[in-house]
Amino acid sequence: MTEPGIFSLLWVLIALPLAGAAILLFGGRRTDRWGPYLGVLTVCTSAVIGVLMLLGLMALPAEERSITQTVYSWIAVGSLQVDFALQLDQLSMVFVLLITIVGALIHIYSLGYMAHDPDRRKFFGYLNLFVAAMLLLVLANNYLLLYVGWEGVGLASYLLIGFWQYKPSAAAAAKKAFIINRVGDVGLSLAIMLIFVTFGSVTFGEVFGQVGEASEGTLTAIGLLLLLAAAGKSAQFPLQAWLLDAMEGPTPVSALIHAATMVTAGVYLIVRSHVIFDAAVWAATAVVVVGLITIFMGAIIGSAKDDIKKSLAGSTMSQIGYMVFAAGLGPIGYIFAIFHLLTHGVFKAGLFLGAGSVMHGMNDDVNMRRYGTLKGLMVITFVTFMAGYLAIIGIPPFAGFWSKDEIIHAAFERNALIGVATILAAGITGFYMTRMIAMTFFGKARWEEGVHPHESPKVMTIPLIILAIGSTLLGMALLFWGNIESWLEPVTGFASEPTPFPTWVYIVVTLIVVIIGAIIGWVMYARRPVPIEAPRGSWLTRAARKDLYGDAVNDALVVRPSFALSKALTIFDARGVDGFVNGLAGSVGAISGRLRRTQTGFARSYALSMVGGALLVALALVLVQS
């Protein structure tokens, strides 16, 4: 189906924020005054176009809701034909709306939050760049173009994490995010190559149409590589370590990139490639396992952190774990993975912006142990934060209830054990979120001297209010009015299996567990006084404060060995050649001794290594001759 009416504007969706980024970043100081407003305008316009496209799609019959727009032929060599082509279907549509609408709200909020930053023009430039890249990622109609968006959001993310570069911790965090993400990118690039070799194409439609012809081993390999990619971008075990440090970026960035949109790209990738996972059981099982581990890791970390943003980051890891987990369940889970992704995108963005609003009033202090009893001083922030709180722990009728409940139910459809695990994790969610609100809004004031908490300006609170309304209503709206199940089914497929008990039993049990978790959190942090210095805590708390030793493991296994290897090779390359050649080819030892006396400088050792190399080359050829 080609591109009638509004859909001919598909490329404009991406071009607008891209143009915004270009003008802001290359325009220099000239654009300082009006630049930020331009940045807001481009994203808002994209959001409006996105909504119009949704209306356009809804007007079409379900089987015609996939529109492809070929911008131009990008690479065409022999059998490799890749177009710069965009594809809008039900799945990418919901992402476009999430990215542009939440993106627009966060842009507006940033007008207030970043009002006094000297570099805010650049900030809006990077944000625009991010939106453009993220839209490209979800609109690409082939894996190679998706990869372009994938790298683009990564780039924007590093730039924004390191935005306050005068803080060494910010620069270090940006570098860490980059390195860990490269590991995930290896997975994606290898997956794409394997896909190309197996199917002779990288276009989604053509690849998925031929999945039946590939062997299960190949599909499993592709699936595992895609999982590696998803783990990198979505901060899943074992590539989770960068997300907590990424909180060094400005809070709107944490809300947009590291909670609502970019970190869910991994979930998008898995759901988009669901045809491959459907045919590769082991890969899908691996997805479930990774998701489950991350649900608990994130929840435990979120329970121990005193930094409000890091606690929320742990929670993000955990919630994305839920989505990845659901995506691994197969057709019973795909739709709910996306459903939870949408509700989470809205309520977590609200929570982060709320945290930003609190920080704004507390002189940018992030330590919850120095907050307390803010509920009366920041009424709008408090009320909107509560909406997000009720949504994330899953109290009906707030948004998170509907989506998380569906995932838990789907887990029970597969296996009672993993179902129980997800309920348990929901209980921990109740605990750490209650801890957060108790320490922040209730209890006694533990403020630093000279801090005068105050409510944020309207430009910040209005986005909070809109997101709070979303956190309250979005679940019901998508489920009952938007009919998300039948909307996504043509793309993702849908299946349902019987469970031993009726649905309401699971709902009630989950709610009871969540409320128990919340009560424990309330008793520990609202009833008892919160010490300003963190107590030593149990071994689990201490481990969780250190991100469950993620850094230590990375450092010991990867960082230190690679630097040592590089140093050693350098020394070897410059000076150790004589020894190398002597050791390797003892027979030339005598000659080498004579040569050494007749020549000076390093050139002799270089020449020697050439002789050694030539011997190797000759031997390799002669010995392995066929």
Partner 1 sequence: MEFISPELDYAALAPMIVVGVAAIISVLVEAFAPRSVRRFLQLVLVFTTLIGALVLVVLNSGMRVLTGGQSIALDGPAWIMQGTILILAILGGLLMAEGGVDPSGDAFAPRASALPGSEDERQFTIRGYLQTEVWPFLLFAVLGMMLFVASNDLLMMFIALEVMSLPLYLLAGMARRRRLLSQEAALKYFLLGAFSSAFFLFGAALIYGYSGSIAFGPISFAITTKAGENTLLLIGIAMLLVGLFFKIGAVPFHQWTPDVYQGAPTPVTGMMAATVKVAAFGALMRLLYVAFGGVRWDWEILLWIVAILSMLVGSIIAISQSDIKRMLAYSSIAQAGFILVGVVAASPQGLASVLFYLIAYGFTTIGAFAVISLVRNASGEATSIRDWAGLGKKSPLIAAIFSVFMLSLAGIPLTGGFIGKWGVFAAGVAAGDAWLVIVAVIASVIAAFFYVRVIVLMYFADPTPDTAAVVIPSGFTTVSLAAGATLTIALGIVPQPILDIIANAGVFIR
Using the rule CB under 8 A, which residue among 34, 37, 501, 606 binds partner 1?
606
Residue 424 tokens, joined: 């348990």
Q: Does 166 bind partner 1 (CB under 8 A)?
A: yes
Stretch of 183-191, 303-311, 393-401, 439-447 contacting partner 1, by CB under 8 A: 183-191
Burial environment of residue 351 by CB neighbours within 10 A (0 to 12, 13 to 18, 19 or more)? buried
Q: Does 624 bind partner 1 (CB under 8 A)?
A: yes
Q: Could you give the C-alpha distances from 334 to 277, 415, 489, in angstroms and in order?
A: 11, 16, 9
What is the rounded distance in angstroms from the CA atom of residue 312 to the CA atom of residue 148? 29
Nearer residue to partner 1 within complex by CB, 54 or 156: 156
What is the rounded distance in angstroms from the CA atom of residue 353 to the CA atom of residue 371? 16
Using the rule CB under 8 A, which residue among 74, 208, 447, 549 binds partner 1?
74
Size of the site for partner 1 (CB under 8 A): 65
Nearer residue to partner 1 within complex by CB, 202 or 295: 202
Q: Does 148 bind partner 1 (CB under 8 A)?
A: yes
Burial environment of residue 482 by CB neighbours within 10 A (0 to 12, 13 to 18, 19 or more)? middle
What is the rounded distance in angstroms from the CA atom of residue 218 to the CA atom of residue 513? 42
Stretch of 35-43, 50-58, 241-249, 614-622 contacting partner 1, by CB under 8 A: 614-622
What are the φ and ψ backbone dihedral angles of 76, each rounded to 5 degrees? -140, 100
Using the rule CB under 8 A, which residue among 8, 73, 363, 538 binds partner 1?
73
Binding mask 186-225 for partner 1 (x = CB under 8 A): x--xx--xx-xx----------------------------
Stretch of 379-387, 475-483, 497-505, 603-611 contacting partner 1, by CB under 8 A: 603-611
Nearer residue to partner 1 within complex by CB, 57 or 160: 160
In the 3-class helix/strand/coil scheme, how is 385-444 assigned residue by residue? Answer: HHHHHHHHHCCCCCHHHHHHHHHHHHHHHHCHHHHHHHHHHHHHHHHHHHHHHHHHHCCC
Nearer residue to partner 1 within complex by CB, 28 or 593: 28
What is the rounded distance in angstroms from the CA atom of residue 31 to the CA atom of residue 591? 69
Smallest distance, Å, CB 147 to partner 1? 6
Smallest distance, Å, CB 189 to partner 1? 5
Using the rule CB under 8 A, which residue among 1, 59, 80, 552 binds partner 1?
80
Q: Could you give the C-alpha distances from 325 to 227, 285, 288, 389, 524, in angstroms and in order?
A: 11, 9, 5, 22, 30
Strand partners, 68: 87
Smallest distance, Å, CB 273 to partner 1? 19
Using the rule CB under 8 A, which residue among 155, 509, 515, 543 binds partner 1?
155
Using the rule CB under 8 A, which residue among 22, 41, 183, 377 binds partner 1?
183
Query: Coil, helix or strand for 140?
Result: strand
Q: Which candidate, 336, 325, 298, places its Cα nearest to that of 415? A: 325
Q: Which residues bind partner 1 (CB under 8 A)?
A: 28, 72-80, 144, 147-148, 151-152, 155, 159, 162, 165-166, 170-171, 174-175, 178-179, 182-183, 185-186, 189-190, 193-194, 196-197, 562-563, 565-567, 569-570, 573, 577, 601-603, 605-607, 609-610, 612-614, 616-618, 620-622, 624-626
